[in-house]
Amino acid sequence: MSRDQVFEALERAALAAEGHAVETSSGVLSVTVFRDSAAREPALVKSLVERVLMGPDPETGLDALLTFGALGGILPEVHALVGFGDGEWRHKDVWKHTKQVVRQAVPRVELRWAALLHDIGKIRTRTISPDGEVHFFGHAEVGARMFDKMERRLGLFRAEPSLQKTVRFLILHHLRANQYEDSWTDSAVRRFAREMGAELENLICLAQADITTKRAEKKRRGLRQIDELAKRISELAALDAIVPPLPSGVGNLIMEAFGLPPSRLIGDIKRALEQAVDAGEVPGHEPGEFYVEFVRANRARFGLPKDR
């Protein structure tokens, strides 16, 4: 099978995603030829798959990849989702869910890749409890490891390591925002935002796209919870920009209390205090003396010798 036929099939799938009428009943190639082409020209394969993901109708494009044999040859981890579920064990068809998440995701390339790959770990983690409930414990972590293995095999992201890192991060953490509850403390919200770092917005967007239930009230409730999380993060960031959790001058108070000169240790102590506030161990926005006493009671933790 010629190289031209392989890439013609990928081009047709991209055209389908872009809204063009494409004949999909002919030209089906073997999985092997797609696998071999992906190994030889990963950059070109990636660019065509991204056209499918970024098109206005990615679901049709993904179905075309499946029909042509490209999905099984290039992304067998995704192909394994086809028909997985479908009511057999009372959980939704993961392939249909995946396509909907891709469509609902904001059209940024990192989000569309993460949407395509976010549930690949479900294949290896499905368990069924005695009462018939289906679980996928640890599927995000397993999915991230599968992504690593996929990348070693294909090298699709070899030229874009930052994109590779972002997609992996989103796969690994895609459940985090959906776990939010109103009972989270401000410290827990701050800690979540800090741990998500630069990918916070992408993660919120992926969490919104991941809600595909057909039950209107359940969908509204899920979206409302994520919106509430995003709102609290924004409000707390604005508050902290005006009034930082630690009062100004706390470093000077620590130096005076422990007879310390200006040094890197003072910065380390302040960062450890900030982490303690983020973790909810101590409240924020207290007088400086409050934090001096906390340091005094935990001297070893802050790298200070025992009080004599």
* pTM of structure: 0.82
Q: Which residue has the tokens 């995701």?
A: 105
Residues 198 and 255 in one domain: no
Q: Are 188 and 197 in contact (CB under 8 A)?
A: no
Amino acid at 239: L
Same domain, 40 and 129: yes
Average pLDDT for the chain: 91
In the prediction, which pLDDT does 86 show?
Answer: 43
Ramachandran angles phi, psi of 253, nearest 5°: -65, -40
- Statement to judge: residues 230 and 255 lie in one domain: no
Confidence of residue 285 (pLDDT cuts 50, 70, 90): confident
Closest among 244, 253, 224, 257 to 286, alpha carbons compared:
244
Q: Is the pLDDT assigned to residue 88 strictly greater than 50?
A: no
117 with 135, same domain: the answer is: yes
**154 and 272, same structural domain?**
no
pLDDT (mean) for 57-63: 97
- For residues 259-287, b (16+ Cβ closer than 10 Å) or e, as one string? eeeeeebbeebbeebbebbbeeebebebe
Same domain, 200 and 298: no
Tell me the chain's radius of gyration from C-alpha atoms: 25
pLDDT at 89: 45
Is residue 307 in a domain?
Answer: no
**pLDDT band at residue 30 under the 50/70/90 scheme:** confident
Mean pLDDT within 27-43:
84
Residues 151 and 195 in one domain: yes
| Same-domain pairing of 26 and 81 | yes
Range of the domain at 93: 3-240
